[in-house]
Structure 1
Amino acid sequence: MNVSGVPEPKIEYAPKHYICGRARETLVLDGRVDKPFWAAADWTDDFVDIEGDLKPKPAKQTRVKMLWDDEYFYFAAELIEDQIWATLTERDSVIFYDNDFEIFIDPDGDTHQYYEFEINALNTVWDLLLVKPYRDGGPPVNGWDISGLQTAVHIDGELNRPGAANRKWSIEAAMPWKSLRECAAEGRPPVQGEFWRVNFSRVEWRVEVQNGEYRKVVNPDTGKPYPEDNWVWSPMGLINMHYPELWGYVVFAGEDGPESFELPPDERIKWELRKLYYRERNYFASHGEFTNDPKLLMNDGEHWSITPVIETTCSLFQISTPSTDRQSIFCIREDGKLWKE
């Protein structure tokens, strides 16, 4: 059996969080984020590099607002930009070949069955469902669409015109719960007080002007464009968005709160299980077998709050540990699926 290793993120577990309030009126989408519909919603923190503190802060600001009601999950994003360009016009193109804005949603937080959405400045979208992360075998379901999706883009400047007085572009998206609930717990929309795991990414390419048009800057050593920058809301600790366990917490609030969020203790337990999953996979890649000895995976000097039990076969493993209240058991297996019993 071929079991690949899994890079372990170089980051402390501290995902961002956002209190998502209720929408108080009907949204008419035009891509503008400076209208009354969004006035009561807070901005997220400014985006950072996907690797977090390992890299400098982005040169251009990106931030997001969110709201919800009984029908939709609403998003607004503002991307400061002096080079506004896009080329792709066909739905479900690989949108990140352009500068883009991306939304990732894992409703039940098990890292399987989650959504990815990408949009460029032409309002071309790519929406897909991931059965599981690529590290766990995928696959992406490109034929899946967010039924009833509404999107709009507003450009403060001029698209594909170098030298224009460009300031920013912004997007709005309304995603119906009737589509998003497909991968949610119990197949339903969220209720007040629950959270979903969400993250956002901005892809930014290095471009120059050639013959009056924007062109990606080519690295003369490789003959290919320089790698894109990836700027995100909640940092990942590595260049890979498909680690849903590191996405932020979006808490669905009512008109009267909650006004704050504290990480539930069980989320810390799940993160420690996740670290053991990385290391068990990496142990197999090095030794050709899994280990049922937690001491071989838990480094000296690290603080652990769990006492895991590991069961293995020649090709499978399951790691389990009690929940905080010891009324349930959390389990994770070799393909990254995490659940509660």
Structure 2
Amino acid sequence: MFRIACAAFLAMMCAFAGNVQAQGINEYVVKKAVSPITIDGRLSEPEWEEAALTERFVYYVNGSATVLSTQGKMLWDDQYLYVAFICEDPDVWATLKNHDDHLWNEEVAEMFIDPDGDGLNYLELQVNPLGTLMDLLMSKAYSDGGKSDFDWNLNGFTAGIFVDGTLNDINDNDIKWVCEVRLPFENMAFSAPAMDFPPKDGDSWRLNLYRYDYGGDDRKDTELSAWNRTDSRGFHAPDKFGRIIFSQEPVISPTKVNDAETVPAGFGISGNYPNPFNPSTRIDFHLPADGSVNLDIYNVLGQHIRSLIDGNCKAGNNSIVWDGRDTSGNSVNSGIYFSNLKVNSQVSSHRMLLMK
């Protein structure tokens, strides 16, 4: 009840914020993974690199912009639904270590899942930056007289965490934390007995993603965000959950290539020099004919870093230098980056390593 009261108070406060988003239902097409996914929070598999990002999370009650960026990604295979949260955070912290602790009292990523969208027997799942799990079953929304069942467990619920920074050190500046989750279809099937588990191509579920962040010098500045905004009822508003649509389409397109040997003859990125590099590198590529070219840089999370070429290039050997800066002119962090060359329907990618 304390949590509900806090959420209601925050809802009233957020109602006065600007940049209010029009109410609607966000949709996300979940594509299939084609190889095993390791649950470690690093999102290093090619499938995660290719999976689309959700819309940036907003204040849950009215859709206004948040201070911190939070976005999600999703994948599936015949056994599991995979969910990832990418949470910007200058101070990543958590202390709760026991299963089913009240994780919402600290920083946490949350999933509310209602496969058949009837508002009954929906799942609430939480993970904090320590990797502690909380799972409960809601009979229906609190506003409709619903009750929570903490004795219920989602067997096979697994999470991995990666912290870009230092966990539980308020004196330094962190970058983000990433939460990667694996949810077994067979253990969620009871909640929607008329539906298929695993889903069929085109099946849709209702699902929402949320985040609690506690910041400031005393860690009491609370930011509650959601993928799809709800309303004054708080997080428990099943009719306001987002919608995910399952697709049999592999997340890695058949036209997507990863090395020069597999690209069409006469086309592709031939490499970059030096590699590893610091502070800059030359990217070399070859075109069999004149054409319109897009050459972009992405990080391992699939986030666009910079556009290097957006225009026409001549046939033959071409090159361009990337100075290790993003679109805003800021120097990027050390790590793996990808140059992505696109000409018409042909795509070539190349992995690069920036070391500082």
Q: Alignment partner for residue 96 of structure 1, among 101, 104, 108?
A: 104
Shift in alpha-carbon separation, 1:145–1:187, aligned structure 2, 3 A: farther
- How far did residue 12 of structure 1 move? 5.8
Matching residue's letter, 1:238: S
1:105 equivalenced with 2:118 (yes/no): no
1:52 equivalenced with 2:46 (yes/no): no
Counterpart for residue 255 of structure 1 = 249
For 1:233 and 1:90, locate their aligned partners in 2 and report how far apart those are by CA, in whole Å: 27
1:26 equivalenced with 2:36 (yes/no): yes
- How far did residue 188 of structure 1 move? 3.4
For 2:227 and 2:137, locate their aligned partners in 1 and report how far apart those are by CA, in whole Å: 21
Matching residue's letter, 2:219: K
Q: Alignment partner for residue 122 of structure 2, among 99, 114, 138?
A: 114
Contact 2:119-2:141 within 8 A present in 1 as well: yes
Q: Alignment partner for residue 200 of structure 2, among 191, 204, 208?
A: 191
Shift in alpha-carbon separation, 1:187–1:17, aligned structure 2, 3 A: closer
1:246 equivalenced with 2:249 (yes/no): no
Counterpart for residue 78 of structure 1 = 86
Counterpart for residue 236 of structure 1 = 230
Counterpart for residue 47 of structure 2 = 37
Write 1 or 2 for the structure with the bigger share of strand: 2
Matching residue's letter, 2:213: E
- How far did residue 242 of structure 1 move? 0.6
- How far did residue 168 of structure 1 move? 0.4
Counterpart for residue 216 of structure 1 = 219
- How far did residue 237 of structure 1 move? 2.8
Matching residue's letter, 2:168: N
Question: What residue ranges of structure 1 are gaps of 5+ in the alignment?
Answer: 1-6, 209-214, 218-225, 258-341
**Percentage of matched positions with identical amino acids:** 30
For 2:68 and 2:242, locate their aligned partners in 1 and report how far apart those are by CA, in whole Å: 21
For 1:206 and 1:155, locate their aligned partners in 2 and report how far apart those are by CA, in whole Å: 16
Matching residue's letter, 1:79: C
Matching residue's letter, 1:147: N
Give the structure, 1 or 2, with the largest relative contact order (CA under 8 Å, sep 6 or more).
Answer: 1
- How far did residue 191 of structure 1 move? 1.2
- How far did residue 165 of structure 1 move? 4.0
Contact 1:33-1:77 within 8 A present in 2 as well: no
Contact 1:90-1:124 within 8 A present in 2 as well: yes
Contact 1:33-1:78 within 8 A present in 2 as well: no
Matching residue's letter, 1:170: V
Contact 2:23-2:229 within 8 A present in 1 as well: no
For 1:164 and 1:25, locate their aligned partners in 2 and report how far apart those are by CA, in whole Å: 37
Matching residue's letter, 1:194: D
For 1:205 and 1:165, locate their aligned partners in 2 and report how far apart those are by CA, in whole Å: 14
Matching residue's letter, 1:195: S
Q: Deviations over 1:272-303 (max 9, x none)?
A: xxxxxxxxxxxxxxxxxxxxxxxxxxxxxxxx
Contact 2:92-2:168 within 8 A present in 1 as well: yes
Q: Alignment partner for residue 127 of structure 1, among 119, 132, 135?
A: 135
Counterpart for residue 154 of structure 2 = 146
For 1:110 and 1:67, locate their aligned partners in 2 and report how far apart those are by CA, in whole Å: 23
Shift in alpha-carbon separation, 1:84–1:13, aligned structure 2, 3 A: closer
- Paired residues for 1:149-168 under 5 Å: 149-168=157-176
Q: Deviations over 1:65-101 (max 9, x none)?
A: 0011110000111001111110100010110101111
When the two chains are superposed, the root-mean-square deviation of aligned CA atoms in Å is 2.2
- Paired residues for 1:261-272 under 5 Å: none
Q: Deviations over 1:103-148 (max 9, x none)?
A: 1100100111100011110000111110111112211111111111
Q: Alignment partner for residue 69 of structure 2, among 39, 46, 61?
A: 61
Shift in alpha-carbon separation, 1:256–1:173, aligned structure 2, 3 A: closer
Counterpart for residue 172 of structure 1 = 180
Tell me the secondary structure at the aligned position of residue 254 of structure 1.
strand
Question: What residue ranges of structure 2 are gaps of 5+ in the alignment?
Answer: 1-7, 16-20, 252-356
For 1:83 and 1:154, locate their aligned partners in 2 and report how far apart those are by CA, in whole Å: 14
Matching residue's letter, 1:46: R
Q: Deviations over 1:10-48 (max 9, x none)?
A: 986511000000111101111112432312210001101
Contact 2:108-2:127 within 8 A present in 1 as well: yes
Matching residue's letter, 1:244: P
Counterpart for residue 274 of structure 1 = none
Write 1 or 2 for the structure with the bigger share of helix: 1
Contact 1:26-1:37 within 8 A present in 2 as well: no
